[in-house]
Amino acid sequence: MSSRQSTVDSRQSIDGRSVDIAEALSRRVVIENVRPAVDGGRFPIKRTVGESVHVVADIFGDGHDVVAAVLRHGNDEIPMTLVSPGLDEWAASFDVGEPGWHEYRIVAWVDRFETWRRDLRIKAAAGRDVSVELLEGSILLRDAAARANSDWLLQRSDMLTGSTAIDRRVTLALADEVADAMARRADRSRATMSPARRVWVDRARARFGAWYETFPRSAGADPRRSGTFREASADLARIADLGFDVVYLPPIHPIGSSFRKGRNNALAAGPDDPGSVWAIGSEAGGHTAVEPGLGTIDDFVAYREEVERLGMEVALDLAWQCSPDHPWVKAHPEWFRHRPDGTIKYAENPPKKYQDIYPFDFESEDWRGLWQALLEVTLFWIDRGVGIFRVDNPHTKTFGFWEWMIDQVHARHPEVIFLSEAFTRPKVMRYLAKAGFTQSYTYFTWRNSKSELTEYFTELTRTEVREYLRPNLFANTPDILHAYLQHGGRPAFEARLLLAATLGASYGVYSGFEICESRAAAPGSEEYADSEKYQFKKRDWKQPGNLSELICRVNRARHQHRALQSNDTLRFLDCDNPHIIAFSKESADETIVSIVNLDPHHIQHGFVDVPAAPDSFAVRDLLDEVAYTWHRGRNYVRFDPDIRQGHLLWLPKPRV
């Protein structure tokens, strides 16, 4: 037996399936380049409930026979359409329902009946004798009748070979009702089936939401002690009135005292310094305990319930690290890295040192025990009503751990959302998104010029990245106060708010943004002076110049206008001034145009081009309810930083 024969007669594993190679080689249709797909199907694409998946593939067969294809999603089959005949490109779409795993695949085959029907039509139109062709058609109908046990098809088969005039039989053969019946009973015995592609479906909050980061310990009346969850609850109505959807809390766990950091990251802490909330663990407990100054687990649950009563959700920080006082340091020293002298290594990001934090060793001999313990921590907080987690520095932990842990959580709770706080290299950020993170922090904070913003958001929304990475645009964080905000005053905060809230369906701010906190720890630093990471911070939310009203208007527009609730339709518009950026988003019944002055110091003006619209049309600014008449083509805008930094224009689509 030849080597070729040996190959043909064998079975092989393809895409995890045992395949008869001879049978596979006998199939005449090829399915290639199925998209969307992430890394050839290694990772799933992502959607939220109610969104659609538009599938495109290259499908072709040998010779000139007609090819048919369907897109299979669950128990549904959607006929695929040949959209580019010369390129053999086919397409179809399906909508996704409940959160969790979905699969789709393509089935394609040579359609012998449609091939015969096409040729019969051509020959009959040319006046040729088609009696033999009608006999062939009768056999095809009879075969289908046998497959489907259909008397109706059997009767049509007999009619094709009856004594009726040929033109009558041709008309019967070409009838749409016969074609429809045969399509439902197509011979797929040699159909080609593509490998299954996975879709992970999240709830709607994964796609759309405004986040507000707050430290509950700063909510107390006495600046010398921690605020409690009960006291922090009093501030929730204000946050809800601003229009936020998610209240994100940094770690709420007991804080260690060993090597506790003082104000402004000082190495020595004073007697009243609370320490960093990221130095987790003390004699009061670890990752499943609450810092005593905040209250108890029951107090946290009551706080979460009040958040939900006001129409918001709590997001909790997952920080996989310990203070030297964490119970796990004594119980599981093998979970940490050790120096040659036997001491545990503290965290470093040279030249920064974090003596109050011990990172885990995800390559320790007991890595399985560590992984399981961290999963149990996550499930503990889910059991207490937490459905969203912001994950601290996931890029410093093993990729495989995240893929495993998120999959384990989603197997039990598909509604849970994970936000990756990984400010690192692009490919690392993307891989974490592929590995399962629902949302990702981005480089938005450092993209401030028109060209930077346009290039970056084109990448996020118009390339394959959009299939798996959902951006969450934080305008500031406790760690990041960009120079643009430090030196731009209130106009800079206005501009960044408008950009974050309209470029992204998900965005966030850290408390203090609404009162334009902008004092840095030192020149050239992005650290806040008197950082809340190391001390309690008291604020006057009503101080002059605050952004509360603007934030309310922006978030109200986001909730009322579906166009702002996704990123799929983002398009940048031409503007002749490099300091003014313009872009649009659409839904079925409206277009929203955002125009922002990126210069916080000077008056800027120019012309914005609206390419597709009626000759003239009315727009309404959602920021102040002022109406304007605009025209297709160039429209003049002018921004004075002392007055306003942008427009948010609503354009309803004409009813057809």
Which positions are annotated as active-site residues? 392, 421
Determine the Cα–Cα distance for residues 315 and 391; give it in Å rounded to an integer: 10
Determine the Cα–Cα distance for residues 189 and 561; give it in Å rounded to an integer: 49
Please answer whether residues 648 and 623 qualify as being in contact, where contact means their C-beta atoms are separated by less than 8 angstroms.
Answer: yes
Q: What is the DSSP letter of 480?
A: B
Please answer whether residues 623 and 647 qualify as being in contact, where contact means their C-beta atoms are separated by less than 8 angstroms.
Answer: yes
**Could you tell me which of 280, 292, 381, 285 has the C-alpha nearest to residue 327?**
285
Please answer whether residues 137 and 143 qualify as being in contact, where contact means their C-beta atoms are separated by less than 8 angstroms.
Answer: no
Q: Take residue 106 and report the two structure tokens written for it.
A: 């393509």
- Side-chain half-sphere exposure of 576, counting CA atoms within 13 A: 10
Q: Is the peptide bond before 351 cis (omega within 30 degrees of 0)?
A: yes
Determine the Cα–Cα distance for residues 58 and 56; give it in Å rounded to an integer: 7
Q: What is the DSSP string of 544-580?
A: TT--HHHHHHHHHHHHH-GGGG-STT-EEE-BS-TTE
Q: With 0-12 CB in 10 A as exposed, 13-18 as middle and 19+ as buried, what is 180?
A: exposed
Please answer whether residues 262 and 327 qualify as being in contact, where contact means their C-beta atoms are separated by less than 8 angstroms.
Answer: no
Q: Take residue 487 and report the two structure tokens written for it.
A: 């030196």
Please answer whether residues 519 and 260 qualify as being in contact, where contact means their C-beta atoms are separated by less than 8 angstroms.
Answer: no
**Helices marked H in 37-127 — which ranges?**
112-125
**Could you tell me which of 636, 637, 639, 648 has the C-alpha nearest to residue 597?**
639
Please give the single-letter amino acid code of residue 531: S
Determine the Cα–Cα distance for residues 474 and 422; give it in Å rounded to an integer: 12
Please answer whether residues 360 and 371 qualify as being in contact, where contact means their C-beta atoms are separated by less than 8 angstroms.
Answer: no
Report the SS3 class of residue 446.
helix
Determine the Cα–Cα distance for residues 113 and 526; give it in Å rounded to an integer: 69
Determine the Cα–Cα distance for residues 539 and 441; give it in Å rounded to an integer: 26
Q: Is the peptide bond before 36 cis (omega within 30 degrees of 0)?
A: yes
